[in-house]
């Protein structure tokens, strides 16, 4: 992808937000799975098996699939900017539920479902934003660049959350303290709030000052 195409606000909004969403919400998947496997003797956790912990991802997957079905007709009747805010809000709420309600298994499942639905909404809308800002012949490369940024966000979020957990392992211990989970949740909430603000500012700019698809930049000839 020609980086100069990022000059279009809708393209920049989608690309920036996917990184921040990856950093903010992806750690929730590993945090929940690890939390429910932690032996209760640690002062938190449920001591469930790895197989049961894996089932905690089911609400996330189902809700993400459902969102992709629900959001498509809404995209024709509702502004993309509003739908992005709804998706972002669900992600923030899911992290808040994990932060304050993770000692309750039902609330953990609710947190995962909210995260899955929010992700489904955002990932369904971003391609439309990309296609609105790049020439037709550049849509393939724009989508590929978007996917790369998506996994960059995932990797950063996973590394940061793991670092926070490891940093709270007491001397001589093998398990992180519960403070590490709270710190990771607060980090996710903060990053998601920043992502929502950035996307809102850029999308508001597009709404107030519509910009046509930028022409394909001409290559410099030597």
CA distance 17 to 196: 7
Which of 167, 191, 192 lies closest to 180 in space, CA to CA? Answer: 167
**Burial environment of residue 172 by CB neighbours within 10 A (0 to 12, 13 to 18, 19 or more):** exposed
Residue pair 22/208 in contact by the 8 Å Cβ criterion: no
The count of C-alpha atoms lying within 13 angstroms of the C-alpha of 188, restricted to the half-sphere facing its C-beta, is: 35
The dotted CATH code for 3-208 is 1.20.1250.20
**Would the pLDDT of 79 be above 50?**
yes
What's the Cα-to-Cα distance from 151 to each of 133, 148, 158, rounded to whole Å? Answer: 22, 5, 10
- What is the average pLDDT value for the chain, to the nearest integer? 86
139, burial (CB in 10 Å: exposed 0-12, middle 13-18, buried 19+) = middle
Structural domain boundaries of the chain? 3-208
**In this predicted structure, what is the pLDDT of residue 11?**
83
Q: Which of 206, 127, 145 is nearest to 19 (CA)?
A: 145
Name the pLDDT band for 221 (thresholds 50, 70, 90): very low
User: Over pLDDT 90: what percentage of the chain?
Assistant: 55
- Using a 10 angstrom Cβ sphere, with 0-12 exposed, 13-18 middle and 19 or more buried, the burial of residue 90 is buried
Average pLDDT over residues 145-166: 91
Cβ–Cβ contacts within 10 Å for residue 159, how many?
A: 12
Whether the pTM exceeds 0.85: the reply is: yes
H/E stretch holding 6: none
């Amino acid at each position: 992808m020609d980086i100069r195409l990022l000059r279009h606000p809708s393209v920049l909004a989608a690309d920036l937000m996917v990184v921040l969403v990856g950093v903010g919400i992806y750690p929730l998947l590993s945090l929940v799975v690890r939390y429910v496997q932690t032996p209760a003797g640690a002062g938190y956790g449920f001591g469930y098996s790895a197989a049961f912990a894996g089932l905690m991802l089911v609400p996330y997957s189902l809700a993400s699939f459902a969102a992709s079905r629900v959001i498509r007709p809404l995209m024709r009747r509702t502004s993309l900017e509003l739908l992005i805010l709804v998706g972002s809000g669900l992600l923030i709420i899911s992290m808040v539920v994990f932060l304050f309600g993770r000692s309750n298994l039902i609330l953990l499942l609710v947190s995962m479902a909210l995260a899955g639905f929010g992700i489904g909404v955002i990932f369904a809308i971003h391609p439309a934003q990309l296609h609105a800002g790049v020439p037709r012949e550049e849509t393939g490369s724009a989508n590929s660049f978007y996917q790369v940024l998506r996994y960059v966000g995932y990797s950063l979020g996973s590394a940061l959350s793991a670092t926070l957990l490891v940093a709270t392992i007491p001397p001589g211990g093998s398990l992180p303290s519960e403070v590490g989970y709270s710190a990771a949740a607060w980090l996710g909430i903060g990053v998601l709030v920043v992502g929502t603000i950035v996307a809102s500012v850029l999308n508001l700019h597009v709404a107030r000052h519509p910009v046509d698809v930028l022409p394909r930049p001409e290559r410099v000839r030597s």
